[in-house]
Structure 1
């Protein structure tokens, strides 16, 4: 197995929404906001070479939306999904599996492209993986979460015939040294890849832990559908990560690619930051 960091660009979200009940006077120390109270966030995917499989975890938001959409989310930066893949020596056609942690637009938008006015899958040779529980949740969205589940990102996957479901079972094996954890607080049945790599455990934290700034327990996003569930899941997850010295791969941290955590007198806190190339 070989791992590659894939940067797909940056976007902005409201700082208050990203940190929930935590006051701006506290969170802005780690994630400074602009004049509109917007903070910059990464959309960091992960590419896995595993034998004859080339697995891409999440795809960023893509570039097919209109100017009005991007005026809300401020897509910026030099990196794109395609450029980052090319920098690693790959193209979209090389991808065999697209593993979508969940179907919010900033995680799956790049899975679908618009060509000649038509929506189609960006990875024509890949199987697209979700799970049935989350898929049903996304295609029948509640009013609060509806803005994150865009039909143009989701339905073309099913229409392509490339969609398959992973069983919603904790610890299920997806590939060699690749198991799947589940979390239910942010959205229903979000999947977290757990990898065994160079004798270490790496967990793709997705939106259970968006950044190092979210490590303290009360720092729960307002975007989470079930914040008290997130609080329980996050507490158990971070305790396990500290005890077993897991490496946490951070999808949205604008600066830090990975981190470890440790138990302190104040609870679980950041231990160190690192990159995959440090392993």
Structure 2
């Protein structure tokens, strides 16, 4: 099966989104070169690296991709490079979110979303809308496209939490709102969504360090930062958890716990870009206002990678 023309018009389609995107999705970084331009050769290497590592799908233009710093033209080029590099081996999800609702709708209309498995759209940031405002934002987006939409709740970045009640309301009211990336870190809220949302509504983790535990609660997988640099073992850990082999999954997760801390100690994607640079996949360049890891923390990344290799982790 290839994934370049998969279509989901309603929840009665042959392939439900939660089946297609079950497991590990990776929120790809956007590599840059010495001049600050997008490094498309490095992006291609990264795509091959994560797919060869066993991820189930890729997400382009997420926050990890430094999307707020990309121009419209760069975004379109990154999407096209991602599709070309993936070559229909796994599904592709396109990120399109923001705090200007008409702009988000316009952006989605300008992207080649017909080839994407879904659109991942973060809840509005900075404006701090009410729950009704969040609902109306997603309502307008859902009514503007027939493509599947994955909600993205990430209060640590947006400044507001999308409650379980709002998530479930959106899931019930719109046939093409098919899932959520839940990164609130609130397990009780996650459990409420899992209990009350339609049975075919996909719920995935947005917190690498909680992903295994959230799969145990009933989540369908994760959209991960760590899968950029630890694709084999992170994907295997999630696969084992989904297969209810938590004893083996826990062993892998425990070995990666320090890595999770290093990834987010100063900034995402500064952490993951440091790891990927040490692995020779990309060069360690970011766009302001994000800067590379401090020297001391980068040395910890280097040391930790050596420890992983000694313990048999694929890094």
Q: What TM bracket, shorter-length normalisation?
A: 0.3 to 0.5
TM-score, length-scaled by structure 2:
0.33
Greater share of strand: 1
